[in-house]
Amino acid sequence: MASGIKDKVVILGMGCSKFGERWDASPADLMVEAFEECLADAGIEKKDIEMGWFGAGIDAYNVGSSALPLSLALRLSNIPVTKVENMCATGTEAFRGAVYAVASGACDIALALGVEKLKDVGYGGLPQRTRGVENDMFWPNLSAPGSFAQLASGYRAKHGIDKTELKRAMAHVSVKSHANGAKNPKAHLRREITEEQAINAPYIAEPIGLYDCCGVSDGSACAIVTTPEIARRLGKTDLVSVKALQLAVSNGDEASFSDWDGSYLKTTRIAAQRAYNEAGIKKPREEISMTEVHDCFSITELVTMEDLQLSDEGKAVRDVLNGDFDAGGRIPCQIDGGLKCFGHPIGASGLRMIYENYLQFQGRAGDRQLSNARLALNHNLGGFPHQNICSISIIGRYE
C-alpha cells in the first residue's frame, strides 16, 4: 500500500537567480546562474547528477518544447532529462519528478530546474489582439485579473463582507509582501508601499487594483535532491526533507452545473488535505510555521488562507487585518516577498518558493530569518478559479 514520500528525500542544495527584467540574460544564463549556486551548495560535482527535470511554462516563445536546453546550458553528462509543463505549477512539477525519482530508487541524485524568460516577448498575461504568446483564439473574452476579480466578488457575496473592508484586507496583503520583498536582494520589486497607495491605485479589474497584481518577470531556480543516507555520507548535517507533494487538477466540475459557488479554490482544498495526510499533519494552524502561496493577486492569497485551513471560512479578512500572516504574525506568508515582489516567471516560481523555505531552515535568510521554523507549505495555482491546477509541497527539518 502506498505510504507517501515523507522524509524519503532531502534537499542537497538549492540555487536561485536574481528575478527581474533581465534584458542582459538569456534563459541559459539564468539557468546557469541558479545552477552554479545550487551545485556549490550541494557540494557535489556535476557528474554526480544522474537525472534531471526541466520546467518551463511558455515553451514555444521561450526555450522550446524539448529538454535539450537544460542539458545543453548546463553541459550535463548525457543523463536522462525530462521536460515538464503544468501551467503555474511547472516549477513544483519539475521538483516532484526529481523527488519521485529518488524516492523510487531510480536514481540517487536528481536535479530539478525551472526557468522562464518573459520580458523579452512582451508577455503580460492578458489577451492579445495580435499573434503573440497567446493568439486571438485563446482567452478571447477572459483575463487573469478579470477571472480573479470574480473570485473576489463570489467570496464577498458568500460571506457578506463589506466592500471597503475587503479592499483594505487586499491592500494589507500587498503592503505586507512589499515590506518583506524589500529585504530580499533577489526580488524583482524591492520597495515598500503604503495601504493608501494600494487602495487608491487604478483598477485593473474591480476590485483588483494595480498593487493587487503580481508582475511578469524573468528568473530561474533549482534544487538537487537525494536520500538522507547519501546526504549524511556527503557530510550534510542540518537536513531539509520533503514531507509531502500533492497535485489536484480540475475535472470540469467547477465550470459545470455543480455546488461550487465561485468563492474558493476547490483544487487547493483537495491538494492541501492530501498533503496534510501525507505529511502526518493533524492541526495545520499549529504545525505549519510559514507559507509561500500563489499570490498572483492579493485576493488569491487571502482566499487561499481559508482553503489551506489556516483561517476559518469567511474569516481570512479578519486574520489578514490582524496581521496573522505578517512577518511577525502567527504564520508568516510570503516572507521572501512572494510573486508580488518576485514577479512570476512561470517555470521558476514553485522552486523559488521552496528555495526560501530551504534558506529559512538553514538559517541563511538574512534579514528575513524567522525563528523556530518547523514546517513550510508552498502552494502553486495554475489557471483560473473555475479550472485550474494546484500543487502543494511541504518541506521541513529531517527527523
- Of residues 42 and 66, which shows the higher confidence score? 42
- Looking at the predicted structure, is the pLDDT value of residue 171 above 80? yes
Residue 114 vs residues 82, 119, 180, 219, 253: alpha-carbon distances, Å: 12, 16, 23, 8, 30
Decide which of 3.10.180.10, 3.40.47.10, 1.10.3720.10, 3.10.290.10 is the CATH code for 144-213+242-397: 3.40.47.10
pLDDT of residue 131: 47
Q: Per residue in 308-355, pLDDT tens? A: 999 999 999 999 999 999 999 999 999 999 999 999 999 999 999 999
Per-residue exposure over 222-248, b if at least 16 CB sit within 10 Å of its own CB, e if not: bbbbbbbebbeeeebeebbbbbbbbbb
Q: Which of 222-226, 282-286, 384-388 has the lowest mean pLDDT?
A: 384-388
Common-topology check for domains 10-125+218-238 and 144-213+242-397: yes
CB hemisphere CA count around 209 (13 angstroms): 19
**Mean pLDDT over the full length of the chain:** 93
- In the chain the first and final C-alpha atoms are separated, in Å, by 23
Rounded CA separation 158/326 (Å): 26
Rounded CA separation 44/190 (Å): 33
Which residues are the active-site residues?
Answer: 88, 344
pLDDT of residue 129: 46
- Looking at the predicted structure, is the pLDDT value of residue 137 above 60? no
Q: What are phi and psi of 277, to 5 degrees?
A: -65, -45
Confidence of residue 21 (pLDDT cuts 50, 70, 90): very high
Residue 176 vs residues 145, 171, 192, 195: alpha-carbon distances, Å: 20, 9, 9, 9
Q: Give, in words, the CATH class of 10-125+218-238.
A: alpha beta
Query: Structural domain boundaries of the chain?
Result: 10-125+218-238, 144-213+242-397
Rounded CA separation 370/325 (Å): 13
* Mean pLDDT of all residues in 189-204: 96
- Looking at the predicted structure, is the pLDDT value of residue 130 above 50? no
* Mean pLDDT of all residues in 30-44: 98
Q: Which of 4-18, 104-118, 127-141, 199-213 has the lowest mean pLDDT?
A: 127-141
Q: Which of 107-111, 167-171, 372-376 has the lowest mean pLDDT?
A: 372-376
- Looking at the predicted structure, is the pLDDT value of residue 135 above 90? no
Q: Per residue in 72-87, pLDDT tens? A: 999 999 999 999 999 9
Within 10 Å of residue 28's Cβ, how many Cβ atoms? Answer: 17
pLDDT of residue 60: 63
pTM for this prediction = 0.94
* Mean pLDDT of all residues in 197-226: 96
Joined together, the cell numbers standing for residue 121 give 516577448
Rounded CA separation 351/15 (Å): 9
- Looking at the predicted structure, is the pLDDT value of residue 134 above 50? no
pLDDT of residue 34: 98
Percent of the chain with pLDDT over 90: 85
Report the candidate in 300, 98, 334, 337 with the shortest Cα–Cα distance to residue 217.
Answer: 337
* Mean pLDDT of all residues in 188-205: 96
Per-residue exposure over 291-302, b if at least 16 CB sit within 10 Å of its own CB, e if not: bbbbbbbbbbbb
- Of residues 267 and 60, which shows the higher confidence score? 267
Q: Per residue in 245-295, pLDDT tens? A: 999 999 988 888 888 999 999 999 999 999 999 999 999 999 999 999 999
pLDDT of residue 141: 60
Rounded CA separation 210/191 (Å): 15
Q: What is the 3-state secondary structure (H, E, C) of the chain?
A: CCCCCCCCCEEEEEEECCCECCCCCCHHHHHHHHHHHHHHHHCCCHHHCCEEEEECCCHHHCCCCCCHHHHHHHCCCCCCEEEECECECHHHHHHHHHHHHHHHCCCCCEEEEEEEECHHHCCCCCCCCCCCCCCCCCCCCCCHHHHHHHHHHHHHHHHCCCHHHHHHHHHHHHHHHHHHHCCCCCCCCCCCCCHHHHHHCCEEECCEEHHHECCCCEEEEEEEEECHHHHHHCCCCCCEEEEEEEEEECCCCCCCCCCCCCCCCHHHHHHHHHHHHHHCCCCHHHHCCEEECCCCEHHHHHHHHHHCCCCCCCCHHHHHHCCCCCCCCCCCECCCCHHHHHCCCCCCHHHHHHHHHHHHHHCCCHHHCCCCCCEEEEEEEEEECCEEEEEEEEEEECC
